[in-house]
């Protein structure tokens, strides 16, 4: 995608289509008003005919502008003429791009950065335009013979007043980095399990390291993990023919002595459940069980592009969870790297087995904070649906920082408690703890399990089972929580 910021008069610019906002009750945004004058009242004519009444998300395409070099105009309804909520602003942007992405239009100029949005500045609005447009344009066509279906849009322009140029530029830089990160995360999530294996994920990390020398990549193979006594992690990969990998990404953008932010992402490239096999309907979707890991990779891409002055470590424990003669069996007892023993009551609760050893491993980086992201529990979907990710953690400052970042990035979170009463559910008759805590409060008990391996640092856990993926006819990866993680990193830099 090409991007440009435009400050010159609108009718001197060469774009296939301008995107202009109109409010309810025939009111025009400032930029739309100026175009109305230069087109001798064309916009007013269209609006007063009732072809668009300005409700949020309505669109009308005007594809011929008499006596004017402008090729086309898309009018977008903004709703009432008062500052928009951030959600309504994004809704209007989404409506605009959705109505243009299926046309032959190649270049679009968005003139919606002048719209007033509550608590938002030019930088934020520019970023949202880039993020929302890119999100809508993304399509996974790698395995489609007919590539015609891809969007033709090649160039996105942002119209900015001269006085706001610097903040438009900042917004564009951040928006582009986050959009690129989301695209990579979505691509990895959409790739099928026969292509995107643990080895493939490791290769993708290597590719990123080749392209950006400021990221160092290293891989722990199964024999390395054996030496570290990662008995919980390895018990899961024993059931798969694909070798497991623990991928480490290391970005040292900060000062030498700055403690790193450690990002951990669950990387199950396919979760069949193991011996506690999942049911057949919808099992294909379990290729997205690596979206936590993909979020780490996407966030690293965004972080280097933004050249954030932070030290960040990424850890991606990656494996398949398959039924096999050598797979975990219910009742098996494992010894984790921490020394704690775990009774496997359900082999489908495999994510926490990978993550617990990775959390113990994270201690050696002397982390400032550790944030793990995992498609960990179906229970999270039951509790929260697909709107917010679940947030649990052992440190209020970290959790509050994440909640703030979630609000700013429109990538929402909802915190759940980690009270000690819930730990009761993980008691085992035979080992230090069981890997499942019964049917009640599944998201919480999963996090309780992890918390026992995160006692030595500030830690937060994001359950992204509901938010990393869209289900139904439009199924596919969402790229979340890349915007949230990037916002957190940006806030850590400037906040």
The residue range among 304-312, 356-364, 369-377, 414-422 that interacts with ligand BES, by the rule CB under 6 A, is: 369-377
Residues 90, 101, 352, 480: which is the catalytic one?
Answer: 352
Sheet of 341-343, strands arranged across: 333-335, 341-343, 433-434
Q: Nearest distance from residue 397's CB to ligand BES, in Å? A: 29
Residues in the chain: 495
Three-point CA angle 241, 243, 247, nearest 5°: 150
Rule CB under 6 A: is residue 463 a binding residue for ligand BES?
no
Q: Please report which helix (H) or strand (E) contains residue 437, including its range.
A: none
- 179 or 355: whose CB is closer to Mn ion? 355
Residue 352 designated active-site: yes
Rule CB under 5 A: is residue 320 a binding residue for Mn ion?
no
How far from 377 is each of 37, 133, 424, CA to CA, in Å?
A: 56, 30, 19
Q: Which of 99, 289, 337, 277 is nearest to 189 (CA)?
A: 289
- 105 or 354: whose CB is closer to ligand BES? 354
**What tokens appear for 435 in the block?**
């890997």
The residue range among 275-283, 286-294, 384-392, 428-436 that interacts with Zn ion, by the rule CB under 5 A, is: 286-294
Rounded to the nearest 5°, which phi and psi values hold at 74? -105, 120
Write out the binding residues for ligand BES, residues 65-104 only, by CB under 6 A.
none
Q: Total residues at the site for Zn ion (CB under 5 A)?
A: 4
With CB under 6 A as the contact rule, the residue among 230, 294, 448, 465 that binds ligand BES is 465
Q: Nearest distance from residue 265's CB to Zn ion, in Å? A: 12
Three-class secondary structure of residue 36 per DSSP: helix
**What tokens appear for 373 in the block?**
């992201």
Which does residue 442 bind out of Zn ion, ligand BES, Mn ion, none, counting CB within 5 to 8 angstroms by kind?
ligand BES
Rule CB under 6 A: is residue 296 a binding residue for ligand BES?
no
Q: Which of 215, 347, 379, 184 is nearest to 268 (CA)?
A: 347
Question: Which residue do the tokens 């006594």 mark?
Answer: 229
Closest residue by beta carbon to Zn ion = 271
Q: Nearest distance from residue 468's CB to Zn ion, in Å? A: 12
**What tokens appear for 172 in the block?**
């564009």
Which does residue 346 bind out of Zn ion, Mn ion, ligand BES, none, counting CB within 5 to 8 angstroms by kind?
ligand BES
- 312 or 316: whose CB is closer to ligand BES? 316
Q: Nearest distance from residue 271's CB to Zn ion, in Å? A: 4
Residue 144 designated active-site: no
Rule CB under 6 A: is residue 357 a binding residue for ligand BES?
no
- 33 or 470: whose CB is closer to ligand BES? 470
Rule CB under 5 A: is residue 175 a binding residue for Zn ion?
no
Three-class secondary structure of residue 117 per DSSP: strand
Which residues have a Cβ under 8 Å from the Cβ of 464 and sit 6 or more positions away? 291, 292, 295, 373, 374, 375, 376, 389, 390, 480, 481
The residue range among 92-100, 118-126, 250-258, 342-350 that interacts with ligand BES, by the rule CB under 6 A, is: 342-350
Which residues have a Cβ under 8 Å from the Cβ of 67 and sit 6 or more positions away? 40
Taking the chain, what is the end-to-end CA distance rounded to the nearest angstrom?
30
Which does residue 465 bind out of Mn ion, ligand BES, Zn ion, none, counting CB within 5 to 8 angstroms by kind?
ligand BES
Q: Which of 397, 427, 405, 416 is nearest to 461 (CA)?
A: 416
With CB under 6 A as the contact rule, the residue among 54, 175, 351, 390 that binds ligand BES is 351
With CB under 5 A as the contact rule, the residue among 16, 180, 190, 271 that binds Zn ion is 271
Which does residue 171 bind out of ligand BES, Zn ion, Mn ion, none, counting CB within 5 to 8 angstroms by kind?
none
Write out the binding residues for Mn ion, residues 259-288 only, by CB under 5 A.
271
Contact (Cβ atoms closer than 8 angstroms) between residue 58 and residue 95: yes
Closest residue by beta carbon to ligand BES = 378
Q: Please report which helix (H) or strand (E) contains residue 81, including its range.
A: none
**What tokens appear for 193 in the block?**
């399990």
Question: Which residue do the tokens 């992204």 mark?
Answer: 464
Which residues make up the interface to Zn ion (CB under 5 A)? 268, 271, 289, 351
Which residues make up the interface to Mn ion (CB under 5 A)? 271, 348, 350
Which residues make up the interface to ligand BES (CB under 6 A)? 271, 289, 346, 348-351, 375-379, 436, 442, 465
Q: Please identify every residue annotated as catalytic.
A: 278, 352
């Amino acid at each position: 995608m090409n991007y440009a910021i435009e400050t010159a008069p609108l009718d001197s610019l060469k774009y296939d289509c301008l995107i202009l906002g109109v409010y309810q009750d025939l009111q025009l945004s400032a930029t739309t008003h100026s175009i109305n004058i230069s087109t001798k009242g064309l916009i007013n004519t269209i609006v007063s005919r009732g072809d668009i009444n300005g409700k949020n998300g309505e669109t009308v395409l005007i594809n011929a502008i008499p006596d004017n070099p402008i090729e086309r105009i898309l009018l977008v309804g903004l709703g009432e003429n008062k500052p928009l909520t951030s959600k309504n602003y994004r809704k209007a942007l989404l409506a605009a791009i959705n109505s243009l992405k299926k046309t032959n239009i190649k270049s679009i100029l968005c003139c919606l950065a002048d719209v007033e949005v509550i608590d938002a500045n030019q930088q934020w609005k520019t970023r949202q335009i880039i993020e929302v447009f890119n999100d809508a344009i993304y399509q996974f066509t790698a395995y489609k013979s007919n590539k015609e279906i891809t969007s033709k849009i090649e160039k996105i322009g942002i119209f900015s007043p001269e006085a706001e140029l610097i903040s438009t530029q900042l917004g564009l830089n951040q928006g582009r980095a986050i959009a690129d990160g989301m695209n990579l995360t979505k691509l990895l999530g959409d790739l099928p399990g026969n292509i995107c294996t643990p080895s493939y994920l490791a290769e993708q990390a290597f590719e990123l390291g080749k392209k950006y020398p400021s990221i160092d990549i290293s891989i722990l193979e199964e024999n390395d993990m054996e030496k570290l006594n990662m008995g919980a992690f390895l018990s899961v990969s024993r059931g798969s023919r694909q070798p497991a990998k623990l991928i480490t990404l290391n970005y040292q953008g900060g000062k030498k002595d700055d403690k790193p932010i450690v990002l951990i992402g669950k990387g199950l490239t396919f979760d069949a459940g193991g011996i506690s096999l999942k049911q057949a309907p919808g099992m294909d979707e379990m290729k997205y069980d690596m979206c936590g890991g993909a979020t780490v990779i996407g966030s690293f891409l965004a972080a280097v592009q933004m050249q954030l002055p932070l030290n960040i470590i990424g850890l991606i424990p990656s494996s398949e969870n398959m039924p096999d003669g050598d797979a975990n069996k219910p009742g098996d007892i494992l010894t984790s790297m921490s020394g704690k023993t775990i009774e496997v009551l359900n082999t489908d609760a495999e994510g926490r087995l990978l993550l617990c050893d990775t959390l113990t491993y994270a201690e050696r980086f002397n982390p400032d904070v550790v944030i793990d992201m995992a498609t960990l529990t179906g229970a999270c979907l039951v509790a929260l649906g697909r709107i917010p990710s679940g947030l649990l953690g052992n440190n209020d400052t970290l959790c509050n920082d994440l909640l703030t970042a979630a609000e700013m990035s429109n990538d929402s979170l909802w915190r759940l408690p980690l009270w000690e009463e819930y730990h009761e559910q993980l008691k085992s008759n035979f080992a230090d703890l069981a890997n499942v805590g019964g049917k009640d409060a599944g998201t919480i008990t999963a996090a309780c399990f992890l918390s026992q391996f995160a006692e030595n640092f500030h830690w937060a856990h994001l359950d992204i089972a509901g938010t990393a993926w869209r289900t139904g006819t439009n199924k596919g990866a969402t790229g979340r929580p890349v915007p949230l993680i990037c916002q957190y990193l940006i806030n850590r830099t400037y906040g």
